[in-house]
Amino acid sequence: MENEQSWEMVTLDSSRLGTIEFVVDILPRLIGAASVTVKLTFAAMLLGVLIGAVAALMRIRRSGFWATLAGAYVVVFRGTPLVVQMLIVYFALPQVGLRYDKFTSAVIALGVNAGAYIAEIIRAAIESIDRGQMEAARSLGMSHGMAMRRVIIPQTYRRLLPPLGNEFIAMLKDTSLIALIGGEELTRAGQHIISATFRPWPVYLTVAAIYLAMTAAFTVLVRYWERRLQNG
């Protein structure tokens, strides 16, 4: 309530400005909120990659308890809505003694959900490498783990980068779901400004432009890394 009141106090005078002046006035606040979006995305993506890598390696075995467990994880988290998962983390887990703040809850929900998709991306990349590579490495006396680390996994980097980049961009936009649990990020900040100024068009267009700028910047960065890997 206090946060909403502060937004109303800050933006009350902005409602009387012209459109361009209004956008200039609210832009620093939206950019500040966008920094939270970026931090949330990177934290959740890191968690998702870690979980996805472990799950992918477990699934490659194709049989046994760990492969079954990883397969069940992928099916469950790909087959249920991210919205429901986030609500469970923030509202249901405290009932069993696991209580997290809004930012941490969002990181967990986004990261665990993304991990299920990333697991399939990594698994597909590993399995796309010719099996002869593993056989040749084993014939040289390497263990299975050493062959994976030194021969197979390094060859997957160029295959992994484009789909992981797409996953990052999708997560960047999914961070807006933190508003469902009262978290403050770019979309939520825009909603607070609108509730105080009743000017949805310039606010939402500015929010969309910031999202577009962030995704475009990351797309350029991913393409740069792709070229580096291809040339390297």
Cβ–Cβ under 8 Å, residues 174 and 215: no
Average pLDDT over residues 135-153: 87
Residue 5 has pLDDT above 50, yes or no: no
Task: Kindly report the number of other CB atoms within 10 A of residue 155's CB atom.
Answer: 14
Q: Is the sign of the CA dihedral 81, 82, 88, 93 positive or negative?
A: positive
For tokens 């409602």, the residue is: 15
Q: How far apart are CA 145 and CA 222, in angstroms?
A: 29
CATH at 120: 1.10.3720.10
The pLDDT value recorded for residue 20 is 87
**Interval 106-133: pLDDT, tens:** 999 999 999 999 999 999 999 998 888 8
**Interval 169-218: pLDDT, tens:** 999 999 999 988 988 899 999 999 999 888 999 999 999 999 999 999 99
Residue 1 has pLDDT above 50, yes or no: no
The candidate with the shortest Cα–Cα distance to 184, out of 98, 103, 65, is 103
Average pLDDT over residues 50-74: 92
Average pLDDT over residues 53-76: 92
**Interval 17-54: pLDDT, tens:** 788 889 999 999 999 999 999 999 999 999 999 999 99
Average pLDDT over residues 2-11: 49
| Helix ranges (DSSP H) in 61-184 | 65-79, 82-87, 102-127, 131-139, 144-147, 157-174
Residue 7 has pLDDT above 70, yes or no: no
Using 50, 70 and 90 to split pLDDT, how confident is the model at 63?
Answer: confident
Cβ–Cβ under 8 Å, residues 169 and 219: yes
For tokens 């909603």, the residue is: 191
Instruction: Give the list of residues 6+ apart from residue 65 with CB closer than 8 angstroms, or none.
Output: none
Using 50, 70 and 90 to split pLDDT, how confident is the model at 230?
Answer: confident
Token pair listed for 90: 């923030």
The pLDDT value recorded for residue 226 is 83
Q: Residue 29, exposed/middle/buried by CB under 10 A (0-12, 13-18, 19+)?
A: middle
The pLDDT value recorded for residue 137 is 87
pLDDT cut 70: percent of the chain above it: 93
Mean pLDDT value across the chain = 89
Domain count, the chain: 1
Domain span holding position 49: 2-231
Residue 15 has pLDDT above 70, yes or no: no
The pLDDT value recorded for residue 13 is 57
The candidate with the shortest Cα–Cα distance to 163, out of 107, 112, 119, is 119
Residue 134 has pLDDT above 50, yes or no: yes
